[in-house]
């Protein structure tokens, strides 16, 4: 068996990137991709800053408003466009905004679970993270993890960012059968956020966001309530129309920029094609 050490993975990624770049050359150049980050550890701040700088050479960072206008066909974009999003409402996202996004002039959408951002005690914040957000691996900086507060979110809005709903308790919606409970997670959560933040919410991201976390019922409740519904299935959103599930690229900060470039080239999108087709067929227009 081949033992893939760090260097051979790097070389492997370079080879795949080479082929995806060739393929890229022949593909449609109109792109609209969305990056999704979660908690960002302090040690990765520099890497994230450099990643954005690197990406800005070939991609244009767009604002949430530009994204809305493109999907609504009010003002259609051109070329390669990137939208930045953050899921889960970790306090680190607030510092990323302050230290990185603000410096680079990037405007993002922050998706937060409504119950999480209401927490004001450290102990409660930690137990919410442990019980509801982290699935199995505790990161090394677990003890430092906290939620963003309502005040933090208000500051983000003031600086031109958008807030989206990420359910009430970060539940896996495919596992909830009761319509009442689903509406609590999808609709009541948003009403809560709207009241706290004094804004209208148009964006919703499924927790987990993979194929198995989106049932037909939850998809339809979400699409009825929100203009923009996000998954974590990879793909190009340039030709999306309203009521179609939005695709996003999860970024792993512990892997290389080459891997991210492979994702952005669309090389891996085929893997999600059938899943997306099935999901979009489940949404009642």
Which residue, 171 or 262, has its beta carbon nearer to Zn ion? 171
128 contacts 147 by C-beta, under 8 angstroms: yes
What number of chain residues touch Zn ion (CB under 5 A)? Answer: 3
Identify the three-state secondary structure at position 24: helix
Cβ 64 to Zn ion, closest distance in Å?
18
* Token digits of residue 70: 């493109």
Stretch that binds Zn ion, among 28-36, 44-52, 203-211, 270-278 (CB under 5 A): 203-211
Which residue minimizes CB distance to Zn ion? 87
Cβ 1 to Zn ion, closest distance in Å?
35
89 phi, psi to nearest 5 deg: 75, 30
Q: Does 185 bind Zn ion (CB under 5 A)?
A: no
Cβ 128 to Zn ion, closest distance in Å?
12
Stretch that binds Zn ion, among 47-55, 145-153, 154-162, 207-215 (CB under 5 A): 207-215
**Candidate list 51, 63, 207, 237; residue touching Zn ion; CB under 5 A:** 207
Binding mask 77-116 for Zn ion (x = CB under 5 A): ----------xx----------------------------
Cβ 17 to Zn ion, closest distance in Å?
28
Residue 24 region by backbone torsions, left for phi larger than 0, else alpha for psi between -120 and 50, else beta: alpha
* Dihedral in degrees, nearest 10, Cα atoms 77, 81, 87, 92: -120
Cβ 170 to Zn ion, closest distance in Å?
6
* Token digits of residue 138: 């505790």
H or E, element range at 71:
helix 64-71
Residues 260 and 249: their CA atoms lie apart, in Å, by 8
107 contacts 169 by C-beta, under 8 angstroms: no
Stretch that binds Zn ion, among 47-55, 93-101, 204-212, 264-272 (CB under 5 A): 204-212
Instruction: Return the number of other C-beta atoms located less than 10 Å from residue 276's C-beta.
Output: 18
Partnered with residue 246 across adjacent β-strands are 230
Question: What residues make contact with Zn ion under the rule CB under 5 A?
Answer: 87-88, 207
């Amino acid at each position: 068996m081949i033992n893939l050490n760090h260097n051979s993975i790097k070389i492997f990624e370079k080879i795949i990137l080479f082929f995806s770049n060739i393929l890229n050359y022949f593909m449609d150049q109109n792109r609209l991709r969305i990056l999704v980050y979660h908690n960002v550890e302090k040690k990765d701040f520099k890497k994230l800053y450099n990643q954005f700088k690197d990406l800005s050479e070939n991609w244009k960072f767009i604002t949430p408003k530009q994204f809305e206008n493109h999907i609504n066909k009010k003002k259609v974009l051109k070329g390669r466009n990137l939208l930045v999003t953050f899921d889960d409402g970790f306090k680190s996202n607030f510092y990323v905004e302050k230290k990185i996004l603000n410096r680079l002039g990037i405007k993002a959408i922050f998706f937060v679970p409504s119950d999480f951002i209401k927490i004001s005690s450290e102990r409660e914040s930690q137990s919410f993270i442990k019980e509801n957000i982290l699935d199995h691996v505790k990161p090394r900086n677990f003890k430092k993890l906290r939620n963003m507060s309502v005040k933090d979110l208000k500051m983000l809005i003031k600086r031109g960012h958008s807030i989206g709903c990420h359910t009430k308790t970060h539940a896996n919606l495919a596992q909830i059968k009761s319509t009442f409970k689903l509406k609590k997670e999808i609709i009541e959560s948003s009403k809560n956020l709207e009241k706290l933040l004094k804004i209208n919410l148009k964006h919703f991201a499924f927790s987990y966001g993979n194929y198995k976390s989106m049932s037909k019922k939850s998809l339809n409740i979400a699409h009825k309530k929100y203009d923009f519904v996000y998954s974590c299935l990879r793909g190009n959103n340039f030709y999306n129309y309203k009521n179609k599930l939005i695709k996003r690229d999860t970024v792993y900060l512990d892997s290389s920029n080459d891997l991210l470039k492979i994702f952005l080239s669309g090389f891996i999108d085929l893997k999600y094609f059938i899943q997306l087709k099935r999901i979009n067929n489940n949404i009642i227009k």
